[in-house]
Structure 1
Amino acid sequence: MEKVERELMEPGLSMEKTKEYMNRGYQRMLGRLQLLFFHKGLIYLIIGFLLGRALILTEIIPFAVPFFSAVLLMKKDKAPLAALSLIAGSLTISPQLALLTFSSVVFFLMFNKVCSYFIKDKVKTLPFVVLATMAVSRLGYTFLYAGELMTYDYMMAGVEAGLAFILTLIFLQSIPLISARKFRSSLKVEEIICIMILMASVLTGLVGVSYQGLQAEHVFSRYIILLFAFIGGSSIGCTVGVVTGLILGLANVGNLYQMSLLAFSGLLGGLLKEGRKIGAAAGLLIGSLLISLYGEGSADMMKNLMESLIAITLFLLTPKSITAKLAKHIPGTAEHSQEQQQYVRKIRDVTSQRVDQFSKVFYALSESFATFYEKNEDKENLHIETDTFLSAVTERSCQNCYKKEKCWVQNFDTTYDLMKQIMHESEENTYFSNRRLRSDLQKHCSKAKQVEEVFEQEMNLFQSNIKLKQQVEDSRKLVAEQLLGVSQVMEDFSKEIKKERENHFVQEEQIIDALQNFGIEIGHVEVYSLDPGSVDIEMSIPFCNGHGECEKIIAPMLSDILEESIIVKQEECGCYPNGYCHVSFGSTRRYKVETGVAHAAKGGGLVSGDSYSTIDLGVGKYAVAISDGMGNGVRAHFESNETIKLLEKILQSGIDEKVAIKTVNSILSLRTTDEMYSTLDLAIIDLQDANCKFLKIGSTPSFVKRGDKIYKIQASNLPIGILDEVDVEVVGEQLKPGDLLIMMSDGIFEGPKHIENHDLWMKRKIKELETSEPQEIADLIMEEVIRTRSGKIEDDMTIVVSSIQHNTPKWASIPVDSYYKSGKVVS
């Protein structure tokens, strides 16, 4: 502090610097006080001294042993200090009381030591040990002084032991809370009450301390009531007032009226806390005046007012930092909410940071797998591979030849070019048809036949090695793309985590006012987003008895208020008539998709090699997929079904469509060595703008019917699983309301018998359709194909018809006064 004062005396010091130095000195002083109270044990000394003085009904002392036992269990090193302070406090009342306190502590230590040999759980046995200690010490003390025990003595010993039993449980909860150097962020209501009981018990030790008729316990009890009413509101203030007043009334029957005064003052102070400290102080003054009317004249009223004024003075002198720090631990306060929000924000930031780190790790792994070679590197690698191959050939054919020196020393260039040309021709499988090259080899080499055999053997190994390297390279590229996709998904997820819930207090109040003025009772409204197209509102309403007022009334009103179509996304009805229904509202999608499916197995069987799925991807997109496994039967069904299931799971995770298809292809190609593959026909429709992406892997064309016009959509790709790397070609098409998207397997497209041009036949049949119902169209086309085969189903058949329509809510919007229109539409 002296250093801070010297710095403050420096000339030319700015106001900001002065405040900084003062704040630093204040924080340093608080740190020293905290060290003195909690680490050095001063708080145990003060509490123990006052609890040693505390009496109930002028003869019962139930506080000393419970406090000592709790300190001994929680802070064993501070137990001697607590015992000395308890004895010192009781000594200020009378030597007999000090003797009783001392003997109670000694008896407790003895009983506790004995019990520790039999029962290891000290927390559970501690209240019972205190109960036995208080009963034995009280009866022994009474017997020594009175010489006999009466029924009254037994009764008072039982009361004192019972109170000590309960206080032990309370002190075990409260001592760790007040002695911790760092408090928890939130206290339960039960913990707050335990602390209040401890504080009221400590205040009991002030009974008898007075100055000119002003009693210390009255002043400090009212100060505590003011403090907690200002911090926690009327509920906390009233609760603290009742608890404190009750315990003070038990300590002194003359203080019994204090319970009503403190409770009423705590209630008024909490109700007037919006007026800050002056409002809370006014609540205490009003309560004191009203309760004083029951007193004995003006002298009693003036004494109460003076005690209240002293408590108010202490309250006004209490620094704001202390009240704010205490408020952080009281549930329901603004400071507590801010503290919780900061904690949640910290957890969110840490989680987002970890997800970002994982995203960067996956991106780095993707880059490490994605190996790109420059042209000069490719040439260099090709030259090395050629030299390695020729070295292997010459080692087996030329190493022991007597003409080795002539060929590879004297005529190196000629021999190397000849061997290189033979290698190239062998790689292209044209060597044995090249008579001139074979003739040149026979003229140049005396072991031409042996060289040809070695070339053929080494070429097989060389090609196998090249193929293996290519597979490894393709696998690297696939893994790189998959890791990049995972990295992008995690990066998007991190961005979503970072998004904070916006504050829409004004809009929430406007929505509540609008609905309540319309006659609808609302529990609460929480607005999470008001962005166009992504509105997110949660609401609780009283039990509606299944009348559907959320969908029929509230959603249409919100549609008019927010000027966009709002629907009920999720609804949880109340379980009982007096309960609440919880409803989630959101923006409706501009378009909807209705599908119809016709499906048949070869020969009318039960198991089809075709599989299909309609998937709501949950991000405003809708996917339709058809997969045709090779052949028919169980194995084909397994392949196509696995393709659809894998694709569905991967797409719902948020990975890009191309990466998803390549991942499915990789899994299917690596899973088995059998010649099994499946086609894939995938259409992903954006329900906000009706844009559609088509990804076709070995599948038949799809058709879009728009009025009288028919559009064919096709792509040329091999089926999934037939190659290690699949080339995904994306075809985009802008759909319009009323369009019909028709997707089919080859059993439908190539099914008609004696038809040469399947495209023209299918277009003609689609154009002749007079209905626009998806299910009817699917049934009619399949029926037409089967008829051309004379009623026989010679292949698995699947057709999925999707209709794109405007998404019109079932209920029209209900006009609301423009004053209540909330969100961004209100100026």
Structure 2
Amino acid sequence: MQKTERNYSQPVGEVVFNRSRLEFSRFFGRVSLKIERLMFQHGLLLLMVGFLLGRALILMKIMPFALPFFASVYVIKRDKLGIATISVLAGAFSLSIQNGGMVFLSIFAFLLFNRLSGFFSVEPLRKLPFLVFATMLITKVGVFYVIDRDLTFYDFTFAAVEAGLSFILTMIFLQSIPLLSSKSRRQSLKVEEVICLIILLATVMTGTSGWSVYGLSVEHILSRYLVVVFAFVAGSTTGATVGVVCGLVLSLANVSSLYEMSLLAFAGLLGGLLKDGKRVGAALGLIVGSLLIGLYAQADQPVMTNLYESLVAVGLFFLTPLIILKNIGKIIPGTTENLNDQQQYLRKIRDVTAHRVQQFSTVFNALSNSFSQNGFYDEGNDENKEVDYFLSNVTERTCQLCFKKEQCWGAQFDKTYEYMTQIMEEVDNGTLHQNTRISREMDKHCIKAKKVIDIIDQELTYFKANQKINKQIQDSRKIVAEQLMGVSQVMENFANEIKRERENWYMQEEQIQAAIRDFGIEINQIEIYNLEAGNVDIEMWTPYCHDRGESEKLIAPMLSDILGETIMVKHEECAAYPQELCHVSFGSAKAFVVETGVAHAAKGGGFVSGDSYSMIELGAGKYALAISDGMGNGERAHYESNETLQLLKKILQTGIEEKIAIKAVNSILALRTSDEIFATLDLAMIDLQDAHSKFLKIGSTPSFVKRGDKIIKIQASNLPMGIIEDFEVDVVSEQLKAGDLLIMMSDGVFEGPKHVENYEMWMKRKVAELQTSDPQEIADLIMEEVIRTRSGMIDDDMTVMVAQIKHNTPKWSTIPVYSYGKQAQ
């Protein structure tokens, strides 16, 4: 039995009110569900629409609506054909027997011609308008001939006009009938579909022509209600469009209603402009429009009658539930409800995508844990187990059939086990013949000592081979586990980025746009994606600037003052013509910048060097400098070193950690070929926010940092890449400062000086003697000094890369914006 708790701090009246409101909402939901089922599933909506279209006339004679409606239902909703037929015939016979007979004859002719058209392999939706046109034309001409027995040019013209209208209405009904026959429709309509729906609703209203309640025209009330609803939901543009369409259709049905077009169009325009005043504003627009246009109405249309019709339409508008108005707004493109609905749909897609990416991340994480499960075992226990398996194989071949087996392995187990393990170690080290003590003791203990030693020697070869294989398998599993873990982390970060919803910065956008406009700079559009300190992301569209650099010289300094940090132009696309717009991206400036210089030369002065270098600017505010030296010289060495850097660049740009990226590159180089090919790698990762640097050296020469008169050597001991599949990457961290010079070089430069015993001391002395701080000049001077020691000869590929760390000083000073007041922060 479930126990319920009551909050006694909440008033009893409020509890009762909330409960009543909940019960009412549930009741309203059930009623709405039953009404929707009755309207759509049982076809009541089609029944009403068909009845009114069967009554609809143009100029009191032309009936172009009934057959297109029937034909559209016949093709789209065949299961509702009976309802459509009954409703259209009922509406036509409610006018007169002649109209009903004409509609019945046209339906019968359509079914006959449709059966005959089955001989042509044409898609039904494409041939339907032409089939309706031919049916209306032949039927109308046939009726005129039967009645008058003499066809005139007027009869042919009348029949052609009615058939042409039926042709157009068929295409319109094909677009709009699905909206009335099914509840499960698209969340957003095209503009053409909205217009077709409005035309359908306007033609349905013409079926109420002649209906009046207390002297008030029903068609006028419904048309004004339709206009005020669309003006309130979609704004002035759609409201005016609905007014024009409704007024045009009503005036075609009755020429005396021609003034309704101007009234409805003006009322829709005013209602849309006043929609910010909620329902009262839209209703006021309709009433004001009715009063102004009513003054110019015909004499038989009193102003008060016109006003009363508008007031009844306003009353119906106020009685319409808000949820219905919101649902109408969702299907009209450009409305706030439609945009919110689209954003909600995109949010669902984003959440589903993020969830799938997280699932993949979990899978890769589980695979990584599965491959690395050996790492959780105690290596000492694993080694003891391997020794036990080895001794079991030896005893199986020696002690299994010995009569002293029970004595040796039962009563003296520990002593036997100790002798055999000692002999195994001595044989493995190759010192058994020197250790006569263990041999004598083994002879006393075992009657088959010599045979045991021989079997241990034989089995030890297989034991070492198995150990090597197991070690390789474990190393491979470890490499795969680390790489899978790196992929899992990247996918997890990607999922988090997807989940990070773009915040609404509408107020900040308006404030920044107003502040810049007050300064005298025109901005067409501004989009703010992030205002986080150090990670600002803003895009702007500005008029043609004649290449004067307004974005860098004026807008960026103003944004720097507004946001309280240095803002710079990340990317700019200037307009090609004065009528176009310039697109500019602004972002946070990094605290440090890196200026580089490179000097390189191939062996013997050739064109192809085995050294490769790269400067990689990563998206996470990091800057990478890398030098790779392939084995040997020439094209093959150049290919290996260049391939190493390209692989490293692509992996680093995905966001994988540096150590895992280097191990992944090493695995690829080690496994893709059986040749003895390897490459060195000298990598420096510099964080541009705090200048903290990481150095990863794989078989490379030392690097040097020049800080004033002080020379700092950076060195690590790692084998070149591609030699072994598994190796530990030593990472050397160093905090760089503004003004530091980082000098990286290949072995051709470091070991290049001739007649030098201590290369390190020589290089430090040359770096300390430098009188310039320009990176390119330093690279050229070091290269020249090394070549001079060789009398101008280049005996190896040589590359030297120099980077200088500097504070990021903006080119333009901050421009204060006093009218802004720093509200965006």
Q: What is the TM-score when the length of structure 1 is the normalising length?
A: 0.94
- Tell me if 1:740 matches 2:765: no
- Tell me if 1:18 matches 2:37: no
Q: Which aligned runs of 4 or more in structure 1 are off by greater than 4 angstroms?
A: 10-13, 372-375, 377-380, 394-416, 435-453
Distance 1:120 1:234 in 2: 42
Residue 700 to residue 421, structure 1, CA distance change in 2 (3 Å): same
In the TM superposition, residue 557 of structure 1 has moved relative to its aligned partner by: 1.7
- Tell me if 1:70 matches 2:52: no
- Tell me if 1:487 matches 2:473: no
Question: Aligned residue for 2:182?
Answer: 180
Question: Aligned residue for 1:3?
Answer: none
Paired residue type of 1:700: T
Question: Aligned residue for 1:637?
Answer: 638
- Tell me if 1:216 matches 2:218: yes
Distance 2:620 2:597 in 1: 23
Q: Secondary structure at the match of 2:509?
A: helix
Question: Aligned residue for 1:456?
Answer: 457
- Equivalent residues of 1:233, 1:273 under 8 A apart: yes
Residue 425 to residue 349, structure 1, CA distance change in 2 (3 Å): same
Distance 1:100 1:512 in 2: 64
Distance 1:312 1:268 in 2: 14
Question: Aligned residue for 1:151?
Answer: 153
In the TM superposition, residue 472 of structure 1 has moved relative to its aligned partner by: 1.1
Distance 2:596 2:795 in 1: 25
In the TM superposition, residue 225 of structure 1 has moved relative to its aligned partner by: 0.3
In the TM superposition, residue 95 of structure 1 has moved relative to its aligned partner by: 0.5
| Paired residues for 1:334-483 under 5 Å | 334-372=336-374, 378-396=379-397, 416-438=417-439, 452-483=453-484
Distance 2:665 2:395 in 1: 45
Distance 1:436 1:608 in 2: 62
Question: Aligned residue for 2:40?
Answer: 38
Q: Secondary structure at the match of 1:113?
A: helix
Residue 295 to residue 757, structure 1, CA distance change in 2 (3 Å): same
Distance 2:682 2:579 in 1: 52
Distance 1:281 1:410 in 2: 108
In the TM superposition, residue 20 of structure 1 has moved relative to its aligned partner by: 0.9
Residue 767 to residue 133, structure 1, CA distance change in 2 (3 Å): same
Q: Deviations over 1:534-584 (max 9, x none)?
A: 111111112223332222221122122222221121223334422222221
Paired residue type of 2:673: T
Residue 518 to residue 414, structure 1, CA distance change in 2 (3 Å): closer
Distance 1:410 1:26 in 2: 90
| Paired residues for 1:196-345 under 5 Å | 196-297=198-299, 300-345=302-347
Paired residue type of 1:59: K
Distance 1:410 1:310 in 2: 113
Deviates more, 1:709-718 or 1:229-238: 709-718
Distance 1:411 1:520 in 2: 98
- Equivalent residues of 1:328, 1:335 under 8 A apart: yes
Question: Aligned residue for 1:541?
Answer: 542
Distance 2:658 2:15 in 1: 64
Question: Aligned residue for 1:4?
Answer: none
Question: Aligned residue for 2:724?
Answer: 723
Paired residue type of 1:161: A
- Tell me if 1:708 matches 2:709: yes
In the TM superposition, residue 466 of structure 1 has moved relative to its aligned partner by: 0.4
Deviates more, 1:253-262 or 1:579-588: 579-588
| Paired residues for 1:549-564 under 5 Å | 549-564=550-565
Question: Aligned residue for 2:8?
Answer: none
In the TM superposition, residue 428 of structure 1 has moved relative to its aligned partner by: 2.7
Distance 1:575 1:25 in 2: 62
Residue 417 to residue 688, structure 1, CA distance change in 2 (3 Å): closer
Paired residue type of 2:509: E
Deviates more, 1:40-49 or 1:293-302: 293-302
Q: Secondary structure at the match of 1:722?
A: coil
In the TM superposition, residue 614 of structure 1 has moved relative to its aligned partner by: 0.7
In the TM superposition, residue 615 of structure 1 has moved relative to its aligned partner by: 0.3
Question: Aligned residue for 1:7?
Answer: none
Residue 654 to residue 397, structure 1, CA distance change in 2 (3 Å): same
Residue 177 to residue 544, structure 1, CA distance change in 2 (3 Å): farther
- Equivalent residues of 2:611, 2:628 under 8 A apart: yes
Q: What is the TM-score when the length of structure 2 is the normalising length?
A: 0.94
- Equivalent residues of 1:570, 1:584 under 8 A apart: yes
Question: Aligned residue for 2:813?
Answer: 812
Q: Deviations over 1:604-651 (max 9, x none)?
A: 222222221110011110000111222223333232222211111111
Residue 453 to residue 793, structure 1, CA distance change in 2 (3 Å): farther
Distance 2:178 2:581 in 1: 39
Distance 1:390 1:531 in 2: 66
Distance 1:159 1:574 in 2: 51
Paired residue type of 1:323: L
Q: Secondary structure at the match of 1:814?
A: coil
Question: Aligned residue for 2:7?
Answer: none
Question: Aligned residue for 1:788?
Answer: 789
Question: Aligned residue for 1:6?
Answer: none
Residue 750 to residue 167, structure 1, CA distance change in 2 (3 Å): same
Q: Secondary structure at the match of 1:799?
A: strand
Q: Secondary structure at the match of 1:514?
A: helix
Q: Secondary structure at the match of 1:560?
A: helix
Distance 1:767 1:210 in 2: 103
Distance 1:499 1:145 in 2: 74
In the TM superposition, residue 230 of structure 1 has moved relative to its aligned partner by: 0.6
Deviates more, 1:473-482 or 1:38-47: 473-482
Question: Aligned residue for 2:162?
Answer: 160
In the TM superposition, residue 166 of structure 1 has moved relative to its aligned partner by: 0.9
- Tell me if 1:136 matches 2:128: no
In the TM superposition, residue 818 of structure 1 has moved relative to its aligned partner by: 4.4
Question: Aligned residue for 1:797?
Answer: 798
| Paired residues for 1:745-784 under 5 Å | 745-784=746-785
Distance 2:214 2:659 in 1: 89
In the TM superposition, residue 222 of structure 1 has moved relative to its aligned partner by: 0.5
Residue 564 to residue 253, structure 1, CA distance change in 2 (3 Å): same
Question: Aligned residue for 2:663?
Answer: 662
Residue 704 to residue 128, structure 1, CA distance change in 2 (3 Å): same
- Equivalent residues of 2:682, 2:700 under 8 A apart: yes
In the TM superposition, residue 361 of structure 1 has moved relative to its aligned partner by: 1.9
Q: Deviations over 1:678-709 (max 9, x none)?
A: 22111000111111111112211111111111
Residue 209 to residue 821, structure 1, CA distance change in 2 (3 Å): same
Residue 251 to residue 407, structure 1, CA distance change in 2 (3 Å): same
Question: Aligned residue for 1:103?
Answer: 105
Distance 2:666 2:204 in 1: 75
Q: Secondary structure at the match of 1:14?
A: helix
In the TM superposition, residue 513 of structure 1 has moved relative to its aligned partner by: 1.2
Distance 2:14 2:821 in 1: 55
- Equivalent residues of 1:698, 1:718 under 8 A apart: yes
Question: Aligned residue for 1:526?
Answer: 527
Distance 1:207 1:240 in 2: 19
Aligned residues: 814
Instruction: Show structure 1 runs of 5+ residues with no match.
Output: 1-9
Percent identity of equivalent pairs: 59
- Equivalent residues of 2:515, 2:819 under 8 A apart: no
Q: Deviations over 1:324-366 (max 9, x none)?
A: 2211222222222221221122222222222222222222222
Distance 2:291 2:666 in 1: 85
In the TM superposition, residue 498 of structure 1 has moved relative to its aligned partner by: 1.7
Residue 100 to residue 434, structure 1, CA distance change in 2 (3 Å): same
Pairwise CA RMSD: 2.3
Deviates more, 1:92-101 or 1:350-359: 350-359
In the TM superposition, residue 147 of structure 1 has moved relative to its aligned partner by: 1.7
Question: Aligned residue for 1:573?
Answer: 574
- Equivalent residues of 2:46, 2:180 under 8 A apart: no
Distance 1:69 1:637 in 2: 74
Distance 1:429 1:633 in 2: 45
- Equivalent residues of 1:720, 1:726 under 8 A apart: no
Distance 1:564 1:692 in 2: 24
- Equivalent residues of 1:116, 1:122 under 8 A apart: no
Equivalent residue in structure 2 for 1:193, among 195, 198, 214: 195
